[in-house]
Structure 1
Amino acid sequence: MAQKETNLEQLYDYLNDEEDARSCKAIDEESCRETPKNYFLILISNMLTSLGDTLSNPKTVLTWIMSYVNAPVMLISFIVPIRESGSMLPQLFIAHYIRKRAVRKYVWVLGSFLQFLAIAGIGLIALSFEGSIAGWLIILCLIAFSLSRGLCSIAFKDVLGKTIPKKKRGKLKGYTSSVSGILVLAAGLFILYRSKGDVGIEFYSYLIFFASALWLIAALIYANIKEFPGATEGGKNGLKEAWNRLSLLKEDKPFRNFIITRSLLLCSALTAPYYILLAQRYVGKEAYLLGLFIIANGVASIISAPVWGKMADKSSKKVMTYAAMLTAGLGLIVVGLIQFVPGLSDQVWLYPVALFVLGIAHQGVRLGRKTYIVDMAEGNRRTDYVAVSNTLIGFILLITGGLSALASLFSVEGVIVLLSVLGIIGAFKGSTLPDVE
């Protein structure tokens, strides 16, 4: 047993370039002794949930499944806004309650278990229902999933801060992303392989069941983290804090303009499902196409994030501007090709390529706006910015999703054009923001 622990410590030291005494900055000595074990438990559990996220991604897989069971397009329009805002808004209500707990890993375990139930529920619904009933039931499961995800998001940051030293946390996230990226590609290739045979709703349901099981396994692994009791004071009601600081929108013009820009840049997150719907309409619902979408999205994230990250360190507003223009230009080009070059609308390659380019653009939007808001201010002012920003964007996501749903009743292409126009306005607005680097 001791030998296994020694090997684990050696691997930890190797991955983190620890040559002499182990560095444990910002955590106590007691936690330091448990760091190697905790490091790999967090790595594996997050790797599993990242793969689960990919295999149940609202932008690709859930859109595909809802369309496959003939759920109304209007309901499909809501799945991305619900997924994003549903995990964001509850954090503002419950964070201060969670932070009153001396040990918080079990909050993450509970959240992961609830996500397992919610995603498994989607698999059962896809197997058992069709049409509007299936659509509404999947929406309810997705709401439960998003709320549960909020629990994990809060607890993860706290547990990470208590168990993993500074200057090791970024590498941990990096290793998680790298391994998850490889697994995502493997999943996409597996779907391509399976698509050679007859594939029906049973295959997609089993795919969702497998994804749900990953959260259950992750919960069991995460429960083994050695977390020592920590501080329980100082937690604040995020919603109350955000409400009290809404005056920032009136007093702080740069911040107000950033919120407007960020709202317009939601186009990069909301557009993806409509490319999936176009592909199913013009090309078909063969499983290999879903495999191509998963691979395209995964590769886009892997190759673009480091590039956008370096650019954001030089000028995050330019990253937001370029990414928004890429999103908008892509949407207008795809719709233009479908409308004016009819021979291209049934070309298989068009839609995975479009999703690949959109994935690159969305990474730029995410990294650009995250870097910008961090660089805008320091200390408490930064905390205020994040609280107000997340609150407003959570509500704006739902409103925008509602407008997209209404527009989708008339034309899927029309929604893409509408979101592209918002992207152009967002790019212009972003270019007028002050440099903060």
Structure 2
Amino acid sequence: MTKSNDQRTAAGAEEDWKTLLYERLAEDDEGRVCKDISDDACRETPGNFLATLLANTCSSIADKLASAKTTLPWLLMQLGAPAWIISLLVPIRESGSMLPQMLIGAVVRRQAVRKWVWVAGGSVQGFSLLLMVWCGMTLEGLQAGLAVTGLLILFSLARGACSVAYKDVLGKTIPKTRRGRLSGWISAIAGLAAFAAGLALGAFGQGEAASGLYLDLLAVAAMLWFLAIASYARIVEFPGATDGGANGFSEAFSSLSLLREDAPFRKFVIGRALAMGSGLVAPFYVTLAREDLGSAASLLGIFIAAEGLAGLVSSPVWGRWADRSSRQVFAVACGLAALTSLAVAAWSVSGLPSEASVWFYPLAFFVLGIAHAGVRLGRKTYLVDMAGGNKRTDYVAVSNSVIGVLLLLTGLLGALAAVISVQLTIVSLAIAGLLGAILSLRWREVSG
């Protein structure tokens, strides 16, 4: 009997600290908010909130440490991989995780409990990173480049499965008006880690030790993924609907009818497509800075740190605002990214002295990081809030698949345009962003 009492006491203490921490982070101390989730899920909200926070913070930090924009290109350059392989990393990473999501969505719909899809995808990503470390230690040149690229394709496909499952599990386990705050905390903590990593890369990113440093970053990222899946597996998810779980291309592509039949969803996808520039334009900032200041490697750590700091200071604010109106967050952030890009393009042709560019480009990159954090958080919260059940899974799968195709095409066109003029590319992406901001103001309100 004593042992049983002790066990109940320990369980009660664990529940108390989870509840207290949840109330502090989610600002839910005036009565549990349970909007848009079941009563059973409501009772598990504190534990699920914290498990989701830890899991996705770890995965977000891992993504920044193993970035296809920084760590992987620098590693492959150290290993002597050809430049054409390095140029494919970002398109593969971004579009590879989105293109198959209509097919993945059909598989996810058949699962009554969908957290295990995320756990499986996270495991694949962790092992992919470990194999990249092995490649970096044993291979060189073209062989290393092809091996890492193949593993990145596998990594991206697994990432697509996680993306579909995550939004659906989030909608089942975390109440509306608390999802934006959760995403805000995830982005903020991951931003702090990116800030620290950027400072480290700025200090140690040059010299003979660079290759070993990048392999260490990949190994740490893999360990973070394994910690993430251990935490995500602890989420208490109650079985949900499995309707519409038929597999195959016909089921997947029939979901495209949503774009024709569902006007609010169609407007969302168009607005999201126009806003892609907030993520695609960052490398062009670095290109202009390198042309103006030289030695891009010495600046890279500063840019990563600036982006991480931007997420740290802005994401909690974006998150709280998104719980009131994710539509407004998307519009404001999209407009801010566009205006920043126009300012960068104008600065680059102004002929101002390089001494001024030393502070201007990192500052612009910092503002872009704030804006991009808002665009991502606003669209994610809006998408989760605008639909429920299997419709949410369809929305995620269709929108991400369509954006994956457009992202790949836009990236290729952007690369061609950059051959003519980097400034032209930046201005084009900025104009599209302004149109996206204007269009999103016409979305119907779904938050709050």
TM-score by length of 2: 0.76
Q: Distance in 2 between matches of 1:75 and 1:255?
A: 36
Q: Distance in 2 between matches of 1:190 and 1:66?
A: 19
1:61 maps to which of 59, 71, 81: 71
Question: Equivalent pairs: percent with the same residue?
Answer: 42
Alignment correspondent of 1:182:
192
Report the CA distance between 1:206 and its aligned residue: 0.8
After the TM superposition, which residues 286-297 of structure 1 pair with which residues of structure 2 at under 5 Å, given as runs? 289-297=299-307
Alignment correspondent of 1:219:
229
Q: Distance in 2 between matches of 1:18 and 1:404?
A: 44
CA deviations over 1:236-286 (Å, ceiling 9, x no partner):
77742343355569xx7x998986775454333223334556767864475
Alignment correspondent of 1:267:
277
C-alpha distance 66-358 of structure 1, shift in aligned 2 (>3 A): farther
C-alpha distance 348-120 of structure 1, shift in aligned 2 (>3 A): farther
Q: Does the residue aligned with 1:52 lie in a helix, a strand or coil?
A: helix
Question: Which amino acid letter does the alignment assign opposite residue 257 of structure 2?
Answer: N
Farther off after superposition, 80-89 or 347-356: 347-356
Is 2:109 the partner of 1:99?
yes
CA deviations over 1:158-193 (Å, ceiling 9, x no partner):
322333334433332232223222232233334455
After the TM superposition, which residues 30-429 of structure 1 pair with which residues of structure 2 at under 5 Å, given as runs? 30-192=40-202, 194=204, 199-235=209-245, 239-245=252-258, 247=260, 263=273, 265-276=275-286, 283-284=294-295, 289-304=299-314, 306=317, 320-331=334-345, 333-334=347-348, 336=349, 344=354, 352-363=362-373, 366=376, 389-405=399-415, 411=419, 414=420, 416-426=422-432, 429=435
1:436 maps to which of 433, 439, 442: 442
Report the CA distance between 1:130 and its aligned residue: 4.1
Q: Distance in 1 between matches of 2:258 and 2:312?
A: 37
C-alpha distance 402-215 of structure 1, shift in aligned 2 (>3 A): same
Farther off after superposition, 352-361 or 197-206: 352-361
Q: Distance in 1 between matches of 2:111 and 2:393?
A: 21
C-alpha distance 200-177 of structure 1, shift in aligned 2 (>3 A): closer
C-alpha distance 214-427 of structure 1, shift in aligned 2 (>3 A): closer
Q: Distance in 2 between matches of 1:255 and 1:201?
A: 45
Q: Does the residue aligned with 1:359 lie in a helix, a strand or coil?
A: helix
Q: Distance in 2 between matches of 1:10 and 1:213?
A: 29
Contact residue 80 and residue 270 of structure 1 kept, 8 A = no
Contact residue 62 and residue 225 of structure 2 kept, 8 A = yes
Contact residue 45 and residue 218 of structure 1 kept, 8 A = yes
Contact residue 90 and residue 147 of structure 1 kept, 8 A = yes
Unaligned runs of 5+ in 1: none
Alignment correspondent of 2:3:
none
Q: Distance in 1 between matches of 2:223 and 2:241?
A: 33
Contact residue 126 and residue 225 of structure 2 kept, 8 A = yes
Contact residue 278 and residue 334 of structure 2 kept, 8 A = no
C-alpha distance 392-102 of structure 1, shift in aligned 2 (>3 A): closer
Contact residue 179 and residue 381 of structure 2 kept, 8 A = no
Question: Which amino acid letter does the alignment assign opposite residue 417 of structure 1?
Answer: Q
Farther off after superposition, 12-21 or 149-158: 12-21
Q: How many residues align?
A: 424
Question: Which amino acid letter does the alignment assign opposite residue 80 of structure 1?
Answer: V
C-alpha distance 315-247 of structure 1, shift in aligned 2 (>3 A): same
Is 2:21 the partner of 1:5?
no
Contact residue 77 and residue 273 of structure 1 kept, 8 A = no
TM-score by length of 1: 0.78
Q: Distance in 2 between matches of 1:120 and 1:154?
A: 24
Contact residue 164 and residue 393 of structure 2 kept, 8 A = no
Q: Distance in 1 between matches of 2:295 and 2:364?
A: 16
Question: Which amino acid letter does the alignment assign opposite residue 326 of structure 1?
Answer: T
Q: Distance in 1 between matches of 2:173 and 2:331?
A: 34
Contact residue 105 and residue 156 of structure 1 kept, 8 A = yes
Q: Distance in 1 between matches of 2:118 and 2:423?
A: 39
Q: Distance in 2 between matches of 1:407 and 1:69?
A: 29
Contact residue 191 and residue 307 of structure 2 kept, 8 A = no
Q: Distance in 1 between matches of 2:80 and 2:345?
A: 24
Farther off after superposition, 141-150 or 357-366: 357-366
Unaligned runs of 5+ in 2: 1-9, 444-448
Contact residue 345 and residue 423 of structure 2 kept, 8 A = yes
Q: Does the residue aligned with 1:59 lie in a helix, a strand or coil?
A: coil
Contact residue 271 and residue 416 of structure 1 kept, 8 A = no
Report the CA distance between 1:87 and its aligned residue: 1.6
